[in-house]
Structure 1
Amino acid sequence: MSELTFDEVRVRYGSGRSALTAVDGVSLTVPSGQVVGLVGESGSGKSTLARTAVGLAPLSGGRVLLDGEDVGRRTRRGRRPLQMVFQDPYSSLDPRMSIGASIGEAMPRGSRDRRTEVARLLELVGLDPDRAATRPGLLSGGQRQRVALARALAGRPEVVIADEITSALDVSVQGAVLNLLRGVQRRLDLSMLFISHNLAVVRYVSDLVAVMYLGRIVEAGPTEQVLADPQHPYTRDLVAAAPSWHTSLLEDTVSEVADVEPSDPHRPPAGCRYHPRCPRGPLVHAERTLCVTTDPADGAAGRAHRAACHFAAPSSPVDPISHLP
């Protein structure tokens, strides 16, 4: 078990007026042995943040730490303590290699009896070890995603990052893959960052949840607490979009707001980044100019769930996420 920490991470692409800050000063901790769900709409920066951890996106600022040590330094020693399972099971595996060879390729140098280890990993993810010679083209999407998970586990990671791993699968298969993921995480006591745009999926898998909007974390805390009593209006909108649960919580409190397009990520608005779409802000309450002039992230530590909203409730005396940065 290891603790993964994003410390004021920034990722910026391009320069000048066309520059895009995809991740803007994000601090987030994945505690040892727990699952943190990272949720937000497309373009919020979730996958970019994950890619910084495995070296696929360049850091413009901040640090990514594993048990307090720079992840890049750990990787240069010949090990890859973080492994990532990608969204598309059809492009994440080499179609020219057997699944057994793909899994074996990911094992650390010097590993002995690779065939036995491949068989063990296939069995761990619910596949017949006799299929090790099979090529990915003969497998279904769900089976390929199981192989991708086995390949990630072959590297003996301390932290696994799962990036939208069910979004490309049929609905009938998603539940089985999620059950597998949760079972493997508990059995191996892994730390995990689980990325999704689906709050229902995040709720099922995660111990903690962080909500991301336009490159920033706007709310974070224990999953059940955040989803039962969301403090940031964006989180409330996400919860309201999943009416199969918590409907009674929101049905009398969500204000009618004009259908407003998301802000341009190249030029995020001043103050609160959500204010052009927010039912608590000046779009509905004209007197709340504070939302336009002052960044609510500055006082987030004193609010419930560290919500980046000027009108969120104050935090309780015992902050349930005080260990998060």
Structure 2
Amino acid sequence: MADADGTKMSELTFEQVTVRFGTGSRALTAVDSVDLTVPSGQVVGLVGESGSGKSTLARAAVGLTELAGGRILLDGVPLRHSSRGPRPLQLVFQDPYSSLDPRMTIGNSIAEAVPRSADYSRAGEVARLLELVDLDPEGASAYPAALSGGQRQRVALARALAGRPEVILADEITSALDVSVQGTVLNLVRDLQRHLHLSMLFISHNLAVVRYVSDYIAVMYLGRIVEFGPAAELLGDPQHPYTRELLAAAPRRGALALDAEELDPALRAVADAEPADPHHPPPGCRFHPRCPIGPLVRPDRELCQTVDPTPDAGRHRHHTACHYAAAALQAVDLVQ
């Protein structure tokens, strides 16, 4: 399905995708049996702390990282990556300066990404794309070093759009920018998605950023998706305790929650717990050593230490990988 200006909308699907690095005792499973769908014309925000596997999943989608298992499909067809021909997926990287050749003008960088088979003027297409990302086409002869960080990220977006991809993957594209610039880039991303009806996987560690642009949100922890659902519903009523912790980590966190942690030794123990070693993830639920409703607080919930909740995630609201998802809200209410 194509939009009026030529952008094709497609559904991106990850089926049991696994990515491993290294061998032996120090092998790392960065992405572990992930199922995730980016619906056609929608934005899925992928959120999680550093090391959760978000960027690895995106790199696997565009062929920069080899799969150890599973498959990635575009409109139901397995992706085949080739150095020749059109590339239906485009990845926009975190650092716009390192993703652009400093020896090439921004106009040439964008023109280089225009398909050779295009039946339209490259110069005209460069001008159109620069206007699309709110940059003056007269500046096409400038070099990346002459631009601000926000302007370089706009060029990176224009370059990604040059190939008229079916899906855009944006990996932490605002985290390297000044706070004052982040808002304008997020506005641009939202406007582009609405105008072009893009399918997009938007990756960030910041839930406030994700909530601004996403239709759906997926929460990732130690290589696995632990919660997935419509953005407004998931943020309004998160079911997984890890999602709740990400929300609680925002600056608006209330003093009552902090006071409760100080008074309750069990909750304080949870707050002080170290993240698991990704080379040797814990059995059962991977979040249980840090979970405020798990065995660290409730010794009777030893189920979390032995049984993986992922297979039964579909039984819970928001597709939540937690044995006691329904108890998460009650626990937070008690703390507050």
TM range (shorter): over 0.9
Q: CA deviation at 1:251?
A: 8.1
Q: CA deviation at 1:16?
A: 1.1
Q: CA deviation at 1:147?
A: 0.1
Cross-structure match for 2:313: 300
**Pick aligned residue for 1:142 from 137, 146, 150:** 150
**Pick aligned residue for 1:13 from 10, 16, 21:** 21
The equivalences for 1:1-325 within 5 A come to 1-72=9-80, 75=82, 78-111=85-118, 112-244=120-252, 255-256=267-268, 257-313=270-326
Q: Distance in 2 between matches of 1:285 and 1:274?
A: 14
Identity of aligned residues (%): 71
Q: Distance in 2 between matches of 1:184 and 1:24?
A: 32
Task: Render the CA deviation track for 1:74-106: whole Å, top value 9, x for unaligned.
Answer: x57711000111000110100000000000000
SS in 2 for 1:181: helix
Could you tell me which runs of 5 or more consecutive residues in structure 1 were left unpaired when the two chains were aligned: 315-325
Which amino acid counterpart does residue 98 of structure 2 have in structure 1? S
Which amino acid counterpart does residue 40 of structure 1 have in structure 2? G
Q: CA deviation at 1:252?
A: 10
Aligned residues: 312
Could you tell me which runs of 5 or more consecutive residues in structure 2 were left unpaired when the two chains were aligned: 1-8, 262-266, 328-336
4+ long deviations beyond 2 Å: 247-258
Structure 1 residues 206 and 249: alpha-carbon distance in aligned structure 2, compared to 1, 3 A threshold: farther
Q: Distance in 1 between matches of 2:199 and 2:287?
A: 31
Q: CA deviation at 1:227?
A: 1.0
Q: CA deviation at 1:27?
A: 0.4
Greater CA deviation, 247-256 or 232-241?
A: 247-256
Which amino acid counterpart does residue 214 of structure 2 have in structure 1? S
Q: CA deviation at 1:15?
A: 1.1
Q: Distance in 1 between matches of 2:323 and 2:251?
A: 26
Q: Distance in 2 between matches of 1:285 and 1:17?
A: 32
Which amino acid counterpart does residue 290 of structure 1 have in structure 2? L
Which amino acid counterpart does residue 124 of structure 1 have in structure 2? L
Q: CA deviation at 1:276?
A: 0.5
Q: Distance in 2 between matches of 1:11 and 1:52?
A: 8
Structure 1 residues 250 and 62: alpha-carbon distance in aligned structure 2, compared to 1, 3 A threshold: farther
Q: Distance in 1 between matches of 2:137 and 2:252?
A: 39
